[in-house]
Structure 1
Amino acid sequence: MTEDPGHVPGTASSRPGGGAFPPVPALHATGLRRSFGGTVAVDGVDLLVPAGSFFGVVGPNGAGKSTSLLMAVGLLRPDAGTARIFGVDVWADPVRAKRMVGVLPDGLALPERLTGRELLHYLGRLDGLDGASAARRADDLLRLFGLDGTGRTAVGEYSTGMRKKIGLATALLNAPRLLVLDEPFEAVDPVSGAVIRGLLERFVADGGSVVLSSHSMSLVEELCDRVAVIVAGRTAREGTLDEVRRGESLHDAFAGLLGASTANVEMPAWLRR
């Protein structure tokens, strides 16, 4: 029997005798836990990202969002828990799993002395592309993000927003099925932000899957169809956007989960007028 390249071995589109199997999730993480010294950063995070979804991850600073995503894509080994990308265990078969995902981590470190074009070409070659294909993809991505005029500028001279865009370009270089992006819009100007939004929406429309971590509730509401709220290292709520909001705005639902309200802010006496 010829294997369907669109399916992970061990799964099928239909059962013998009829009836479809559930689609394999783009990302399925269960029970992720991680401590640093005596500090528990993540304490049982579960994430279920259906294939073809635009999935938002929100939470307060220090809640464990970035740590959870790093574990989910195989860049940080968890103390406990599992993570699968399209059914492939990221720790049992890391090479195969990572070929299906593009990642933009928070605070991505980049080679400072390479130009943007050199960086993309080099990474393309490391990923197995021939020289011509790597060069073509590098030029396409530089043009896509409006960086084609800076292809000979060293990355160390890039602005914060430019570094964010070249980081996103590296995540797209291997034509992934899943994108996992930690604050991709941070420090990006409005015009570039609109380009990135359009790109991500088209990526999902074409069958890709996106996981987006952001502090912008309005952005998550506009882009995402599913959301997970992480609080104190745990998944406090997860589901469709409407299931998470429960009739409120995402901002108010998020504040309610934290037990926070702007009405309860107590100003120091010395700041009052």
Structure 2
Amino acid sequence: MPLPDESLAEADLARLLQEALARTPARLMVGRAGPGYLTSTWLKLRADHAAARDAVHAEIDLPRDFSGRSFLELRTRACSKAEYLMRPDRGRELDDGSLELLRPHTISADVLFIIGDGLSAAAVRLNALSLLDSLTLAARERGWSVGPTCFVHHCRVGILNALGEALRPTVAVLLIGERPGLATAESLSAYLAHRPQRGHTDAQRNLISNIHANGVSLPDATARLIALIARMMAVGASGVGIKESLTVRPPPPAVG
């Protein structure tokens, strides 16, 4: 018969473990079979890995995935998903047909929103359109002019430079699928740049990542992105010199 204080300690430990597991998708305390995973854990790992591979290799079809929505549909110099994965440089440049398509749209705007498939079609299908709509509404409420929304197939982050030179927005925002992990294949990133142009690197960009149902919520992402855009317009720059002013949120309620 355990002593009362020992029973209390075990109960506290169980509660703390439950609370920790509720706050992370990491595989903690999953048990083992000899030196390996339990069969159930191993099967879940295999399923998550398959979902990640599917997200990387899948393609976005605008009429199917974003039915009824109008975009400037652009393509990079990566002619296939295989080439895109092997030649990242080609995913940073627009092809000749896309550059020609952009010629009538060279009037500068305050904000340009871009969606790129990136490394997760699943993230774009699930999150990009809702985030785009809330960002566009918030931008117009502030009186900012919004350029034509672009969708770029086989897109890398460096496409910001090419579109910045072609369309000359004050701030460009790229919503792009993140490289999937074993916790989720549905995570979206948002990259921002003030007057992007050739030669700019990640040092001239800002990033909010991990946008998905179990990460940064769409309302939080919208608020943070709009605040960053306003800051960039006020300062006239983006990148390492621009810092977010984040409000510390209380932790989620305890489980159980």
- After TM superposition, the score normalised by the length of structure 1 is 0.24
Higher helix share: 2
- Identify the structure with bigger relative contact order (alpha carbons < 8 Å, sequence gap 6+): 1
Structure richer in strand, relative to its length: 1
Return the index of the structure with the highest Cα Rg.
2
TM-score (norm 2): 0.25
